[in-house]
Structure 1
Amino acid sequence: MPTTPTIARIWRGRTRRDIADAYEPYLRAEGIPPLEKTALGVQLLREDRDAETWFTTISYWADMQAMTAFTKGEPTKVHHLDRDAEFLIELPERIEIHRILVDRRGLR
């Protein structure tokens, strides 16, 4: 199995701006640890706008088989956290899966 990621799995969700500070630690505690245990890497991004905040989670996978094993055979299905309906403006309906074509992290 390669140790270099070839797949990026991207989830996006948005909250009201006034509850984003409460959702972030919940997402860090409940959504990120399972990815840290299985994926080759994970990033959590936050974009604050006037009335809403977008959160983006990107996980990196060796290949489709590794990602499919993590998602129990359904790589594009969204697996919502227990409290997502409480925090998110709407529940995301899809996950993006991208092949990584160029990865030059750490280079000049």
Structure 2
Amino acid sequence: MMICRIWHGRTSRERADRYAVFLEQRAIPDYRSVPGNIDVAVLRREEGDVTHFLTMTHWVSEKAIRDFAGDDILKAKYYPEDADFLLEFEPEVQHFEVVARQIPS
């Protein structure tokens, strides 16, 4: 069973470009360093003065997620630098069981 873990965060539009760089340079390597992480995608959407980010990660098991996030696997994981960017800290992420997926050959 593959698990998709989705985190949502909001930042001001003026800080969004810098936050995108931070996610690429700090968060993605952190996810990828954990055995059992399959992949990472960061999505971005502008909405007025606010920019939304969704981080979607795929994992081989809950154990792999636990190795990344700790024992409470639904608790959102934040970095100290997030305080410089985020408008609030959502306490939880969402998990979905992946029931269908196609990877280009």
SS of structure 2 residue aligned to 1:74: coil
Partner of 1:99: 97
Partner of 1:64: 62
Residue correspondence of structure 1 range 11-90 to structure 2 within 5 A? 11-38=7-34, 39-90=37-88
Task: Give the secondary-structure state (helix, strand or coil) at the position aligned to 2:33.
Answer: helix
Q: Give distance in 1, aligned partners of 2:39 and 2:18.
A: 24
Could you tell me which amino acid in structure 2 is paired with residue 40 of structure 1? Answer: I
Higher strand share: 2
- Alpha-carbon RMSD: 1.6
* 3-state SS, counterpart of residue 87 of structure 2: coil
TM-score by length of 2: 0.88
Q: 1:8 maps to what in 2?
A: 4
Q: 2:69–2:76: 8 Å Cα contact kept in structure 1?
A: no
Unaligned runs of 5+ in 1: none
Could you tell me which runs of 5 or more consecutive residues in structure 2 were left unpaired when the two chains were aligned: none
Q: Secondary structure at the match of 1:65?
A: helix
In the TM superposition, residue 77 of structure 1 has moved relative to its aligned partner by 1.1
| Equivalent-residue separation in structure 2 for 1:79 and 1:70 (angstroms) | 9
Kindly provide the CA deviation profile for residues 12-68 of structure 1, in whole angstroms up to 9, marking residues without a partner as x.
101111111111111211211111122111111111222111111111111112212
